[in-house]
Structure 1
Amino acid sequence: MTVSVSPGRLDADRVRLAGVAADTERLLATLPQPRLRTAGQRAEAAAAHDAARRLRTAFMNAYPDQVYDELTSGRTRHPRLDELVEAAAHTFPGLVPTPEQVARERSRAQVDQEGWQIDQGIFLRGVLRSATSGRHLMDSMLRPTPRALRLLPEFRRTGVLVTDAVRLERRDGVARLTLCRDDCLNAEDERQVDDMETAVDLALLDPAVRVGLVRGGVMSHPRYRGRRVFCAGINLKAISAGRISLTGFLLRRELGYLHKLVRGLSDDDPDRWTPPEQKPWVAAVETFAIGGGCQLLLVFDHVVAAADAYLSLPAAAEGIVPGAGNLRLGRIAGARLGRQVILDGRRVMAAEPDARLLVDEVVPPEEMDEAVERSLARLRGDAVVANRRMINLAEEPLDGLREYLAEFALEQALRIHADDVIDKVGRFAERSA
């Protein structure tokens, strides 16, 4: 199926899309849940999905800016990812799953999901591929979250925020952000992403903060009791349970707090002539930075690691894509080491020479506190923010990130629903249980 790009065809093609999507949903309603389907039923469902997804892809290839403009009132509104896909479901039936389909999907384990996030990935890839619409969406995701704006007055008064996943404390001009999910060694899930973005927003919004620090908290896990742990990466149990979504985690994380660490916040002032607010950030790595924890280090201005820590990006072994790690790691550490870490699963020990391509300082564990404070003091200089802004602009142009994340949106959605991933995370969840 193809969609004509001739002027005036949008309304006709949206009706056609809605019809094909409705036919697909009627067929799927006659079939058992995915893991109970016979080989023939799986083939029947796959063919129906393929036809509908070809049409969705052609539709977004033809009309990305028209669709986005209608959803955002000519780019005068700034919806976030979840709001945008929900609006698309109502305005363009069949383009993305309905809120009811999404809710039903999230109530099921990964093995029983239909894979509607793939259709969201097709839509968001189309938006991000467009320089006009994609830049607007990225700007929308750089705005402070409503939660952060609601909490800002209290944080400015007390200098403290405590959530389920993080603790943020402002002291001596430093926003000290501690990852404190000791129940799962700071493994990432949607709750952690929401809390991290809130904390990053508050640190950027508070004029009393000059520099930020991210550090793992002290764990109660029997194996690491009493030790600080930076991050264990994505929570595989949450994937298996169907609680890792494209708009709430996989893409929100990249376009939300990680991008804010790099570029700071955007706002509603169209006539702003000064650059957006940015602040330098330090990371302190103890024990390990695995997966998303290692990705996180790639956006920091200075990384201090304990000599007994290690770094790894096991995404390929897990079957998924390590966020924007593929974009950043090779640039920072070199192409060969980047491939070894991502494709071969190489673990880099902080004490080995190659670790200096990924971190700035390696110190004995007992000297971490002093090393961290020294690095924070060095980043307080008046010209640090201006220079980091120009470095980040040169190293990671906005359109380069946009084009990468456009393809990531669909690639990661496909991988998260791939049979090998479902099998791996399912076995991990069983072992953990």
Structure 2
Amino acid sequence: MTVVRTERVGSALLITIDRPEARNAVDAATAAELSAALDELEATPELWAGVLTGAGGTFSAGMDLKAALKGESPEIPGRGFGGLTEAELTKPLIAAVEGFAMGGGFELALGCDLIVAAENAKFGLPEVKRGLIAAGGGVVRLPERIPHHLAMEILLTGEPINGIRAGSLGLANRVVPAGETAAVALQLAEQIALNAPLALAAVKNVVRASDRWAAQRTEIAKLMTSADVREGMTAFAERRAPQWTGR
């Protein structure tokens, strides 16, 4: 039984966690299929961005505790929770968050490059209420995204915030009415896809590098020898849309 669906929409891959009966909680099978979907995104030249969402009006309730009690792991070695939170993807990934994004679900969203949130979405890291910490990237990424004391409040209380609050904190790029997140995220993906794929990958490489200045020098040197840079300059001079090749 497939628990992660993929659909190509233009130049974007819509990835849907499809376990609504479990509020899209991540078990071993879900992690494996999500990892495979991300591989599809990475390996397909016609796809320039991905959108991650959940079926049934819920993004993800995080780790499937019932499966975990049976000994299942929701992590993929080297790629983290759900095969995403530690993965080094070259293509932009957008989270379209409806309903609950709790625990690992929130961490999946934090593992994406952009977040589109429904107004009534719920983001939370309640691990401390269970004697744990948000070890799928929550305690690492959240303090990097929002002011320290606000991140600590979310991490230490375990209490959720809604989509509107997430937008006001800068966690969400767009806050939209419930039911519209996937459509808006796909629009963002198409906007991103107007740009050069090598440049998009270079941005991601620099942002996640430990020495960003060194990484920036390396990436710009590579880009300056690419056919896409020449095409971008030529298209600008000729006042036309560039035709990117990814070379």
TM-score band by shorter chain is 0.7 to 0.9
Is residue 300 of structure 1 aligned with residue 138 of structure 2? no
* Cα deviation digits, residues 346-397 of structure 1 (max 9, x gap): 2111123665421111111254354223212221132465256435533453
Shift of 1:325: 1.6
TM-score, reference length from structure 2: 0.75
Residue 378 of structure 1: aligned partner: 191
Q: Which has the higher helix share?
A: 1
Matched length: 209
Q: Name the CA distance, whole Å, in 1 between partners of 2:171 and 2:115.
A: 8
Is residue 258 of structure 1 aligned with residue 71 of structure 2? no
Residue 232 of structure 1: aligned partner: 61
Residue 242 of structure 1: aligned partner: 71
Residue 210 of structure 1: aligned partner: 48
Q: Name the CA distance, whole Å, in 1 between partners of 2:54 and 2:198.
A: 25
Whether the aligned pair in 1 keeps the contact of 2:51 and 2:186 (CA below 8 Å) is no
Answer with 1 or 2: which has the greater Rg.
Answer: 1
Say if 1:184 and 1:240 are closer, same or farther in 2 by CA, change over 3 A.
same
Q: Name the CA distance, whole Å, in 1 between partners of 2:174 and 2:68.
A: 34
Shift of 1:241: 2.5
Give 3-state SS (helix, strand or coil) of 1:234's partner: coil
Residue 178 of structure 2: aligned partner: 365
Give 3-state SS (helix, strand or coil) of 1:365's partner: coil
TM-score, reference length from structure 1: 0.45
Whether the aligned pair in 1 keeps the contact of 2:120 and 2:164 (CA below 8 Å) is yes
Say if 1:239 and 1:216 are closer, same or farther in 2 by CA, change over 3 A.
same
Shift of 1:189: 1.3
- Partner amino acid for 1:286? E
* Residue segments in structure 1 that go unaligned for 5+ positions in a row: 1-162, 219-227, 265-277, 399-433
Q: Name the CA distance, whole Å, in 2 between partners of 1:250 and 1:279.
A: 19
Residue 76 of structure 1: aligned partner: none
Q: Name the CA distance, whole Å, in 2 between partners of 1:369 and 1:193.
A: 21
Q: Name the CA distance, whole Å, in 2 between partners of 1:210 and 1:201.
A: 13
Shift of 1:210: 1.2
Whether the aligned pair in 2 keeps the contact of 1:280 and 1:384 (CA below 8 Å) is no
Aligned Cα root-mean-square deviation (Å)? 2.4
Q: Name the CA distance, whole Å, in 2 between partners of 1:196 and 1:388.
A: 21
Whether the aligned pair in 1 keeps the contact of 2:15 and 2:37 (CA below 8 Å) is yes
Residue 25 of structure 2: aligned partner: 187
Residue 72 of structure 1: aligned partner: none
Q: Name the CA distance, whole Å, in 1 between partners of 2:176 and 2:167.
A: 15
Whether the aligned pair in 2 keeps the contact of 1:212 and 1:282 (CA below 8 Å) is yes
The alignment-based identity, stated in percent, is: 28
Equivalent residues in 2 for 1:222-371, closer than 5 Å: 228-244=57-73, 249=75, 252-254=78-80, 256-260=83-87, 263-264=88-89, 278-322=90-134, 323-352=136-165, 355-371=168-184
* Residue segments in structure 2 that go unaligned for 5+ positions in a row: 212-247
Say if 1:383 and 1:394 are closer, same or farther in 2 by CA, change over 3 A.
same
Q: Name the CA distance, whole Å, in 1 between partners of 2:203 and 2:92.
A: 12
* Cα deviation digits, residues 117-151 of structure 1 (max 9, x gap): xxxxxxxxxxxxxxxxxxxxxxxxxxxxxxxxxxx
